[in-house]
Structure formats: structure tokens, C-alpha cells
């Protein structure tokens, strides 16, 4: 999901999900809510990466960055019931 959030899928001509709006999600059941939850979770990852100075947007760099911050993010989410549900993304 992280790669889809920050990188476009050129094979299928899909923009990065971080450029989606609620209008793009109208066709999905609970689409607005799902986008909101995804945005909340991805913002945690983005903020931690920026704090560590490893914010990158190419696919290879994004994978490296995600590996570095994933443990910190999941450790914090484990303390909150809501966070665990959103992590199912």
C-alpha cells in the first residue's frame, strides 16, 4: 500500500493514491472513510520518515524508507485499538 501511496503505477496508468480525493472514491462502499483512514496511516509513515531525514519517493527508495520506519509506527499503533484496525490496510 505504501508504494501505491507514493508512487504511480505506470503499467496500469494509476496515479499515486496520495493524489486521490473523496470524489475518486465515491464508487466504493465507505470509500471516503477508507481514504481518510489510509491518509491517516500514511501520514504517520511520512512524518516519521521526514523526522529521520529519509523521505524518498522513488520505488526503491520508498521501500528502504518504509523498512526503516515500519517498526516505530507499528509499535505506537499497538497501543491504540483504532490504530490496529487501520493497520489492516
Residue 2 to residue 59: CA distance in whole angstroms: 10
Name 14's bridge partners: 9
Q: What is the pLDDT of residues 1-34, one digit of tens each?
A: 777 888 888 888 888 888 888 888 888 888 888 8
Q: What is the pLDDT of residues 31-87, one digit of tens each?
A: 888 888 888 888 888 888 888 887 766 777 777 777 777 777 766 665 555 554 555
- 80 Cβ partners below 8 Å, 6+ apart? none
Name 53's bridge partners: none
Residue 1 to residue 24: CA distance in whole angstroms: 17
The pTM of the full predicted model, rounded to 2 decimals, is 0.61
Neighbours of 83 (CB within 10 A): 16
Tell me the domain boundaries of the chain: 2-86
Q: What is the pLDDT of residue 89?
A: 47
Give the model's confidence band at 88: pLDDT under 50 very low, under 70 low, under 90 confident, else very high: low
Amino acid at each position: 500500500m505504501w508504494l501505491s501511496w507514493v508512487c504511480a503505477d505506470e503499467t496500469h496508468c494509476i496515479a499515486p493514491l496520495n493524489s486521490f480525493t473523496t470524489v475518486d472514491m465515491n464508487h466504493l462502499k465507505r470509500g471516503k472513510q477508507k481514504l481518510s483512514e489510509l491518509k491517516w496511516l500514511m501520514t504517520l509513515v511520512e512524518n516519521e520518515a521526514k523526522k529521520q531525514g529519509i523521505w524518498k519517493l522513488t520505488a526503491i527508495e520508498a521501500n528502504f524508507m518504509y523498512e526503516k520506519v515500519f517498526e516505530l509506527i507499528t509499535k505506537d499503533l499497538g497501543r491504540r485499538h483504532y490504530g490496529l484496525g487501520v493497520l489492516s490496510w
